[in-house]
Amino acid sequence: MRSVWKWVGLAGVVGVAAGGVLVARDQRQRNAYSADDVREQLHRRYADAQARGTEGAGDRP
């Protein structure tokens, strides 16, 4: 029975390590954008939202 718990613990450690790798990769991707890139993307999203108008405005509280 102890062997089962060892495997469960090992699987937990591997899962945490894999999660850390994913977080680090995501952070590197976010840091790859310059401030101008982020600003341009936000302005583009805002313009798209304005073009759609108030569609779906009642969906949020």
Lookup result for tokens 């310059």: 34
Residue 44 resides in a domain: yes
What single letter denotes the amino acid at residue 22?
Answer: L
Report pLDDT digits (tens) over 11-61.
Answer: 999 999 999 999 999 988 888 888 899 899 999 999 999 998 866 555 555
The domain of 33 spans 1-56
Report pLDDT digits (tens) over 2-18.
Answer: 889 999 999 999 999 99
Residue 61 resides in a domain: no
Q: What's the domain count of the chain?
A: 1
- Taking CA 16 as the corner, what is the angle to CA 12 and CA 22, rounded to the nearest 5 degrees? 145
Residue 13 resides in a domain: yes
